[in-house]
Structure 1
């Protein structure tokens, strides 16, 4: 996905990619090899005529009068085609020298000397990047922090363009290159490598977008935070994606004739120009210790004006009720699940959902978590009978019914279609026999959503039926499973000739696989909060209370950056929804990166406490011993890369469904 989100930004990026490609930039780069004085005059004349370098310069100064984000979108598009010359330096220099006072930047001559784009730069020289000629002193930055922020912001946009080209090139190759009688994209190793490239490229894009978006705001503290996140994410990320691209290409990618090494060179050059990422990590740690968190404000463009007064009044009315009455009031107002259809929700569009969230938050009303009911009830709403909806939906919303999920089996985890629990026709319904596992809250659940095989003579996916099982039925035995934390959070569930009446079958027999993958068309939309994940906040707390080494402070800052990027992926998905578009790759990538963030940050928290681990007290999520609680969290997060589909299976899915790689 492009760095830009709005239709106008996407159109700008598309048109500039085509324009840049029409200039045959890679041919120009190769033709100028070894020529120190190459200025790429023909291409630069086209750049000046188009005004690409001055998009963010005020119209009064001869520029386009656009935003820093507009300029970043343009740089990403041109970097995607590896447009040579001094575009990055000229874009930075244009704002520095022709926009005095903008973002607190003052005109000067000692600024970022990139691509010879700043006044006072020395004679350009050859460097690793064959598409640019950098002046001596390039990358040493400026005494002006705002100038440094601007330079990193626009360089991050170029890094996003490089990463995107490398991802696309690798995937296109994997779709057609054959080895051992099949296309290499079908090999799981290649599929995983491409999916990891997707994760990194989306993170780079999100961080670069946020830095440019923050540059157009008025809060320098927020811009600084976003820039440091981009510094930690974009340059290393672009280098890694470029290296992986060459790996997927194989021998041909290692040749001088292929263009992949030119993009690796640009990525390496950008990283060198940006300077130390460790310094950015230490700044992030210091900022978060001081209470700074990234807050992304969404401009609803006036679409909230008509609905906000009612939403505010409703939220305040609910907040005034006793705590025990608030849940019912949320359900009655449709505010517990506003994205669900009426009468259980409001069928709310993305704008309305965000406004309701904002007003409930402002009033201090916290929605209860539906847990498994949040998966079960949408399926009943979409595919159940009127009687099933009447029987189950409202009681579930009110918390009168607790649900569990009876899907996984000892031999059918990620490969759910291979399940063996059998359902046989009997008078008045079905008799279910089998074993389920990893079932949360089964010990106290009232009902379970259960998949069972009803037809063995059809392909696996077609012989499964979706049942609603009364967990108090005769023949059900629940046995707790003790996990590595020492506690029993999951259960095994044994079904021995459990009778399920016909009126507890959802849809038709054989529809179970399709129903198991049901989500409402009108998905939940929410903005990410400013607070970071639990373990990252705990790491910040340790950074504030302990004398951590510089290496440890850098590690904390890197976890702050990763957790922030995970939140940004959600923000970009929400903004797409507000613009009337479906989710992009961010929504799939968010789970993969989110799991890594939570696991790595939980491990870091324990590591920061050193040999205190040897004096550990009893483990427990709510242990009075903070370290014991931290260790519990570290151990517990190991399940995140397994539950809901292992990371490896999800990368297969991302490779096939998002990138289009062959099965």
Structure 2
């Protein structure tokens, strides 16, 4: 995905990319090799005619009258084609002066330097970026804080364009380049490398987008968003460019291939905008002071017909005693508004967002459905009327607790290889096998269970989806102690457990399809302003004082957690625009796992040698004991629900289109 989310911005980006491609920009860069005075005049004439650098300049002074986000979309598109000649400097200078012109920006110990005029564009020095010329002397004026933020924001947009080109180039090459008789993209190592590039590119894009969006709002929020971008985008673009060359192999190391020009631009941008570690340290200070990124969504007036009634309902629920709120949420459909009536409202994305906003405003928190949140949608979509009547409402009310019996000792991510058997008996089925990693199985009322009902067909076609009464004879639940010392999971042994026919969901053999079910009307939600448990704990430790290196580490954790939230916001905005989920929704889990694991490890690391003498490790004991528990417990996140490695395979194949 690109910075552009709206139809208007997508059209702008597509138009400018097509135009930029027609300039044959890299031909101009190659032709100017060794020419320190090259101004790329032919390209620049086209840039001026298109008004690309002055999109955010007021119309009254000859500009396009657009926003900083409009300008960011344009610069990302042009960076994708590596338009030369200082477009970034021209755009920043035009915004600073309020009029179109050809300006330059450059690195300076005092901050980002602006030349203040039109003369310093080609001062005679060829740097690492062969598509630009930068001054060797610090002549000019250092941008004020608003100008610095503008430069970082638009530089981040260029970084996003670079990362996008590098990702696309690597993926396309991996699809067609063959080694050992197969496309290299079918090899897991290449697939994972491309998926990691996708993760980083999505993070870069989300942070760049948010910095541009925040410019029209609160100054404190813009400063925070810009520092997230500075801590994320520029090193991210460098890493994606490096990985692109790695995927390309020897051809990527040649001067003839374009990849090195993108790496050069990324490295130059990173040097231009300032230190990512310093930005991270500022994020830590801001977080300690209570600042969090809050993204306001403009619903375009579509919320106005809904807002009054939703607010009244939310306030009515908030006025109830705590023990009565769950039933009230279920009764009015606010517990699961995206589910179809009568269990939800079949709510569209706008309605879902309004309900979330008003419940949050009223201080009402929805109960977590846990495994019921996976089981009930399958019953809703594929079950019988009797099954829906029997299970849905009691599950919503919390009267039924569910567990999941999917994974087996020999079938983790490779779920299709499961060995639990279901044999036909009078009136139903007899299940025999072993399940593992089943949380709350020791107290669950019911389980969703996959078992093999046909061994004569391909693995994924012979699986059936069962609803199992956990009080049935033949079920043996054994606690499974984890690395935390606790037993959150269980092994479950099924010894000729009878399941009646009315507890089969859909038809025998449909289990694989059902296991992947989500409701067509997906849940839409805005991200919380909180940074996550361990990142908030790291901020708490930072408040007590850290050295500069420690402060930077906390700030990078703040930046990553913020980006994870931004991915969710972008997914919601796509839904509000009538589009299906993009790459953000798939990448969010991978980056979210990384955020939780690295931040929990950081919290422990920040406490130094105290970790060696910690006593009993308990999650409910404040301080380092709970911190160590959290660090150990989060190790499961890259395993549960599909390992990170398997999810990267899926991302590589389903999002990037790499071959199996």
TM-score range, shorter chain: over 0.9
Task: Give secondary structure in 2 for the equivalent of 1:518.
Answer: coil
1:44 aligned residue: 44
Q: Shift of residue 276 of structure 1?
A: 1.3
Describe the SS at the equivalent of 2:226: helix
Specify the SS of the correspondent of 1:412: coil
The answer on 1:199 being equivalent to 2:190 is: no
Match of 1:552 among 550, 557, 574: 550
* Distance in structure 2 (CA, Å) of the matches to 1:296 and 1:652: 32
User: Unaligned 5+ residue runs, structure 2?
Assistant: 101-109
1:299 aligns with 2:298: yes
Residues of 2 paired with 1:301 and 1:612: CA distance?
52
Equivalences, count: 650
Contact kept in structure 2, 1:138 and 1:273, CA below 8 Å: no
Q: 1:99 to 1:310 in 2, by over 3 A?
A: farther
2:81 aligns to what?
A: 81
1:660–1:118 distance in 2 versus 1, CA, 3 Å: farther
Q: Which of residues 615, 626, 629 is equivalent to 1:629?
A: 626
Tell me the residue number matched to 1:105: none
Does the 8 A contact of 1:139 with 1:274 survive in 2?
no
CA distance, structure 2, for counterparts of residue 128 and residue 50 of structure 1: 27
Aligned residue runs from structure 1 range 280-295, under 5 A: 280-295=279-294
Q: CA deviation at 1:112?
A: 4.2
Look up the match of 2:429: 430
RMSD over equivalenced CA pairs, Å:
1.4
After TM superposition, list the pairs within 5 Å mapping 1:1-20 onto structure 2: 1-20=1-20
Quick one: distance in 1 between partners of 2:512 and 2:116?
Answer: 58
Q: Which runs of 5+ in 1 are unaligned?
A: 101-109
> How far, CA to CA, are the matches of 1:574 and 1:156 in structure 2?
22
Deviations 1:35-90 (A, max 9, x none): 11111111111111110000000000100000000000000000000001021000
Partner residue, 1:127: 127
Where 2:142 maps in the other structure, the secondary structure is coil
TM-score normalized by structure 2? Answer: 0.97
Conservation of the 8 A alpha-carbon contact between 2:317 and 2:328 = yes
Paired with 1:638 and 1:15, the residues of 2 have a C-alpha distance of 45
SS of structure 1 residue aligned to 2:585: helix
Do 1:373 and 1:402's aligned partners in 2 also have CA atoms closer than 8 Å? yes
Q: 1:99 to 1:19 in 2, by over 3 A?
A: closer
Structure 1 Cα separation of the partners of residues 344 and 56 of structure 2 = 44
Q: Which deviations, in whole Å up to 9, do the C-alpha atoms of 1:594-617 show, x marking residues without a partner?
A: 101000000000111111112212
8 A Cα contact 1:304 1:351, kept in partner: yes
Question: Equivalent residue of 1:366, what SS?
Answer: coil
Q: Distance in 1 between matches of 2:472 and 2:648?
A: 38
Shift of residue 272, structure 1, vs aligned partner = 0.7
- Residue of structure 1 in register with 2:584 after alignment: 586
For 2:405, the equivalent position in structure 1 comes to 406
**Aligned equivalents of 1:649, 1:428: Cα separation in 2:** 38
Q: Which residue of 1 aligns with 2:484?
A: 485
SS of structure 2 residue aligned to 1:5? coil
Paired residue for 1:228?
Answer: 227
1:614 matched residue in structure 2: 612
Match of 1:574 among 572, 575, 578: 572
Q: 1:305 to 1:500 in 2, by over 3 A?
A: same
Do the aligned residues in 2 keep the contact of 1:86 with 1:117 (CA within 8 Å)? no
2:327–2:397 Cα contact (<8 Å) kept: yes
Q: What TM-score comes out, normalization by structure 1 length? A: 0.96
Asked whether the equivalents of residues 616 and 625 of structure 2 are also in contact (C-alpha less than 8 Å), the reply is yes
Deviation sequence 1:221-276 (CA, Å, 0-9, x none):
10110000000110000000000000000000000000000100000100110121
1:117 deviation in Å? 7.3
Secondary structure of residue in 2 paired with 1:623:
coil
Aligned to 2:393: 394
Counterpart CA distance in 1 for 2:95 and 2:134 is 19
CA distance in 2, matches of 1:137, 1:88: 19
Separation in 1 of the partners of 2:140 and 2:518? 51
Following the alignment from structure 1 to structure 2, what is the Cα–Cα distance between the partners of residues 511 and 353? 31
User: 8 Å contact 1:90–1:117 — kept in the other structure?
Assistant: no
